[in-house]
């Protein structure tokens, strides 16, 4: 793979050469296509069958990570419902370029997990504080000493005690199950972390199956569908253990009293697959929509490794397929193409076509394989947005947009997010109701809008 994906942070201040951009885009388009995804899965399944191996799922648990507690609650059902061999590992997260904001990640995991847990039929306490470091160590020592057979149930019990601050319950679990000594526990965590790294990932709450990664409760439905497709379900005709909630606008309509902020980036594959849905949700529900674009992470100095880049793009491809989108014909817009489009955004917005311009660019870059690094490609973007190209060409390349995007970035960090797409819902008084990161949270904002409107009617 080229240097562009080996260290994307190196592309923050300059364009990659035209040949590099073209080659990388062609490779990525092939990998991201539905045929490419299916080809890799077929190869993995053939390899498993030739070896006569079981459907082996490896799970990587980080004790102080909220998302891991949600994922742990799925382990017993996974074993009950599917014919799988489950191997559980304890891990920690290294402070490296794969996770550029580790101090923000754990607080987000607590806040986010509490918001989504009830909708997945799972549990996480509201307003949970960071667990006591000594109790985290005790939890790790308990889990390091138990058998693989016991891990699914004990991990949930330990997590419940840890996240509710129930020291007595945690001590009781330690007495009942015993504990590993600190050195042996550290060795187990190091081994689990090394195993995850060898397989190609860096986060907690991850499932690995058939050369593919599934993040926690939010990607569990992908894992289930794949297992079902391979005949690993023990019975037929039942619902998924953890289905993804649908994005439903609902019947009630706001009069603009609620504000829905949408934070997007023009180089984000996740933004590209959800942008139109987010705009449509705002329009369908009548909320006041505020579009707040930001620079891509790698263009604002946040590094991204090849490993992380490959996971993000492959995960976005899988999400797009599940949404029924013809996505993945990519022509990477890193660098000048993104800057050029942003330079036109204030002008397009004044003409009432700002969202159309952003949407047109995202479709060109991620759906249609348009090279936006030249005037021909940018003309396609501009004209499909319903804007005049001669006027756009005359102003393209200005820097008038930079201050606004920096204000948006700071606002995003202020509510605990650092990536896109992020969403924030404000009430009639301008107070935050909900602020979360991820295209896989739009369904929750749809439900929250309807909840507020129902309560307003009472």
> Are residues 352 and 278 part of one domain?
yes
Tokens for 156, please give them. Answer: 């949930």
Domain-embedded: residue 42:
no
For residue 1, what pLDDT band results from cuts at 50, 70 and 90? Answer: very low
Domain-embedded: residue 246:
no
> Are residues 277 and 378 part of one domain?
yes
Domain-embedded: residue 254:
no
| Domain range enclosing 282 | 259-457
> Are residues 294 and 434 part of one domain?
yes
Contact 121, 241 (CB under 8 A): no
> Are residues 320 and 424 part of one domain?
yes
Tokens for 304, please give them. Answer: 């991204």
φ, ψ of residue 432 in degrees (nearest 5): -70, 130
Per-residue model confidence (pLDDT) at position 4: 37
Quote the CA–CA distance of 256 and 237 in Å, as a whole number: 43
> Are residues 202 and 97 part of one domain?
yes
Residue 206 pLDDT exceeds 80: yes
For residue 423, what pLDDT band results from cuts at 50, 70 and 90? Answer: very high
* 3-state DSSP of the chain: CCHHHHEHHHHCCCCCCHHHHHHHHHHHHHHHCHHHHHHHHHHHHHHHHHHCCCEEEEEEECCCCHHHHHHHCCHHHHHHHECEEEEEEECCCCCCCCCCCHHHHHHHHHHHHHHHHHHHCCCCCCCCCCCCHHHHHHHHHHHHHCCCCCHHHHHHHHHHHHHCCCHHHHHHHHHHHCCCCHHHHHHHHHHHHHHHHHHCCCCCCEEEECCEEEECHHHHHHHHHHHHHCCCECCCCCCCCCCCCCCCCCCCCCCCCCEEEEEECCCCHHHHHHHHHHHHHHHHHCCEEEEEECCCHHHHCCCCEHHHHHHHHHHHHHHHHHCCCCCCCCCCCCCHHHHHHHHHHHHHHHCCCHHHHHHHHHHHHHCCCCCCCCHHHHHHHHHHCCCCHHHHHHHCCCCCCHHHHHHHHHHHHHCCCCCCCEEEEECCCCCEEEEEECHHHHHHHHHHHHHHHHHHHC
> Are residues 203 and 60 part of one domain?
yes
φ, ψ of residue 49 in degrees (nearest 5): -65, -40
> Are residues 216 and 270 part of one domain?
no
Contact 331, 370 (CB under 8 A): yes
Integer angstrom CA distances of residue 108 from 105, 244, 413, 415, 438 = 5, 20, 11, 10, 12
CATH number at residue 144: 3.40.30.10
Q: pLDDT of 53-112, one tens digit each?
A: 999 999 999 999 999 999 999 999 999 999 999 999 999 987 667 777 778 899 999 999
Residue with tokens 């706001």: 254
Domain-embedded: residue 17:
no
> Are residues 429 and 297 part of one domain?
yes
Domain-embedded: residue 428:
yes
Greater confidence (25 vs 349) lies with 349
Domain-embedded: residue 183:
yes
Domain-embedded: residue 393:
yes
> Are residues 270 and 172 part of one domain?
no
Domain boundary among the residues 229, 250, 278 is at 229
> Are residues 124 and 267 part of one domain?
no
> Are residues 212 and 87 part of one domain?
yes
Tokens for 210, please give them. Answer: 């058939």
Domains held by the chain: number: 2
Domain boundary among the residues 211, 229, 247 is at 229
Domain-embedded: residue 13:
no
* Average pLDDT of every residue of the chain: 93
- Residues 23-46 have a mean pLDDT of 88
Per-residue model confidence (pLDDT) at position 101: 74
Residue 7 pLDDT exceeds 70: no
Domain boundary among the residues 229, 244, 271 is at 229
> Are residues 410 and 270 part of one domain?
yes
């Amino acid at each position: 793979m080229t240097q562009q994906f080996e260290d994307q942070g190196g592309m923050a201040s300059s364009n990659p050469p035209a040949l590099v951009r073209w080659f990388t885009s062609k490779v990525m388009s092939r990998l991201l296509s539905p045929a490419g995804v299916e080809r890799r899965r077929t190869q993995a399944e053939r390899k498993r069958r030739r070896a006569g191996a079981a459907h082996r799922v490896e799970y990587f648990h980080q004790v102080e990570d909220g998302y891991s507690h949600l994922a742990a609650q799925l382990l017993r059902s996974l074993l009950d419902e599917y014919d799988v061999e489950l191997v559980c590992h304890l891990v920690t997260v290294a402070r490296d370029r794969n996770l550029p904001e580790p101090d923000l990640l754990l607080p987000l995991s607590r806040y986010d997990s509490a918001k989504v847990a009830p909708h997945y039929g799972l549990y996480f306490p509201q307003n949970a504080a960071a667990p006591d470091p000594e109790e985290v160590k005790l939890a790790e020592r308990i889990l390091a000493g138990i058998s693989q057979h016991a891990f699914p149930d004990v991990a949930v019990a330990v997590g419940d005690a840890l996240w509710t601050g129930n020291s007595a319950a945690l001590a009781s679990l330690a007495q009942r199950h015993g504990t590993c000594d600190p050195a042996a526990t550290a060795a187990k965590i190091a081994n689990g972390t090394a195993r995850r790294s060898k397989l190609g990932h860096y986060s907690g709450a991850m499932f690995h199956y058939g050369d593919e990664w599934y993040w926690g409760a939010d990607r569990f439905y992908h894992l289930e569908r794949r297992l079902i497709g391979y005949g690993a379900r023990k019975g037929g005709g039942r619902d998924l253990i953890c289905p993804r909630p649908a994005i439903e606008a609902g019947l009630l309509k706001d009069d603009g009293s609620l504000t829905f902020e949408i934070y997007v980036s023009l180089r984000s594959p996740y933004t590209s697959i959800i942008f139109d849905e987010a705009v449509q949700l705002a329009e369908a529900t009548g909320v006041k929509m505020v579009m707040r674009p930001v620079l891509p992470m790698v263009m604002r100095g946040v590094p991204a490794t090849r490993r992380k880049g490959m996971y993000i793009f492959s995960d976005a491809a899988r999400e797009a397929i599940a949404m029924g989108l013809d996505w993945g014909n990519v022509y990477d817009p890193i660098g000048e193409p993104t800057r050029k489009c942003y330079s036109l955004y204030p002008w397009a917005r004044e003409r009432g076509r700002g969202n159309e311009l952003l949407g047109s660019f995202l479709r060109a870059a991620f759906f249609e394989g348009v090279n936006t690094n030249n005037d021909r490609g940018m003309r396609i973007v501009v004209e499909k947005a319903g804007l005049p190209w001669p006027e756009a060409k005359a102003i393209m390349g200005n820097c008038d947009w930079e201050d606004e995007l920096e204000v948006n970035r700071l606002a995003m960090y202020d509510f605990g997010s650092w990536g896109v797409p992020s969403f924030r819902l404000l009430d009639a008084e301008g107070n935050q109701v909900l602020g979360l990161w991820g295209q896989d949270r739009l369904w929750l904002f749809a439900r929250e809008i309807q909840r507020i409107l129902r309560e307003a009617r009472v």
